[in-house]
Structure 1
């Protein structure tokens, strides 16, 4: 059972605090009993923790909870609040022991204060990126990503991106099938890549029946194993290639080709986890053509080979 420690503090947003418990512990869902994570909320001083709302929270556990955690989550933070030496030491000690450290949204401020991100790249909410960069010049701050996963250190943008990031960690730990089923339970998009833009310049139409880009995305997911040329794909949306490319980027924050490649890599990941098909068959069914292409794109996107990914999930 993977242990997750979630750090609460005075002024914590109840929504941000609930995200790790909802995604990792499935708290409040019908599948909570089968959650593969054990989630504990802790605070520097156990007891009453204030919130911005008209209610308070009672936290039973202290910082010693971090000592046994496999993952430590800081769900947002107050940029004007300097973490105490005790908090910084507890997070650093957990990291040195091998725990994965996760900062959601403004939690990047607390993570940066520990020095764990010095010389490295982290993500936070776009509106706070300049302030974070000025406060911690040794850190490379990304305001154009949903999350950054360095393995031992994971940071995300805010609100919905924090949900996406936690789902990404479930996918990394337990595979695409579990993450997709959990997303379905939570009524979330099954996958948004970390490299996706934090915000979409043009609002999504209220009625997706009137959204030709959404129709084109659904069509592409149903034809991943087939060659998809941009001109033909644009015609499914009744648009020219140029208009389709522009509207797609406005709708998703990425180019059609980038989005399509990510869908194919994710399909390959699911096939590697759930079948014994050969690499050539997985590549063909995912629309990546050959095993050589599969290995290239899989390693470039996920940082490991298809064979290593399959072996990791067979050993789980």
Structure 2
């Protein structure tokens, strides 16, 4: 049983801007794993930080915890137009992940937000909550990746049909998301899913997208984190190459990804749920 003092010690690392970003990320994912009001309070305090990457991950973790006590702080982040679009987007996604229908009207208000990533995220979150209402009793965390996703997986299992639907831009975004594989938001989630799969076959495309300066920083950051999650030697060159990238969110993602690589490759695992790795 973790004591309040131990939670406080971890929280102090998270909110301390003098700490290396890698250490703050480890503290964040430790708090996510612990859960409870104390962890939520410490995570919420860190939204005053100046790192968009850290705040993005704060919102992600609050959503994955699926604790309705996080709704007020996430609502505030979504409403705050001073926050970076990728942070507001993740707050909207987190509100959908928690699964509480009390936020439906709020999310509907932001379905037409002038920031397209925020608007699309809220549209997805609304559809997810409506889907949950239509399918009561179904598990909200399914599959081998232990994550709460923006949409339930598709029932289709034919790979040809799945690929065709994934690339069909005429389909509603929610239906394309159900494929778990357009928009910058969609490409961002493609990078996330490839990282979860943790298969080396995805490395060339992830590295190529990371190296594309014209791509959205929101997408490039997710590609960097995905390379860290895959954690194979073939990932290192791309991550080192962009560890000093002009885009702060990209270079910070590369530094965190290199730390993830060291943790995955070393004898100790980071404090987060272990992800299954497909055979090479």
TM-score of the superposed pair, with normalisation by structure 1: 0.32
Q: Which has the higher contact order (CA 8 A, sep 6+)?
A: 2
Greater percentage in helix: 2
Q: Quick check: which one's strand share is greater?
A: 1
Give the structure-2-normalised TM-score. 0.35
The structure number with the bigger radius of gyration is 1
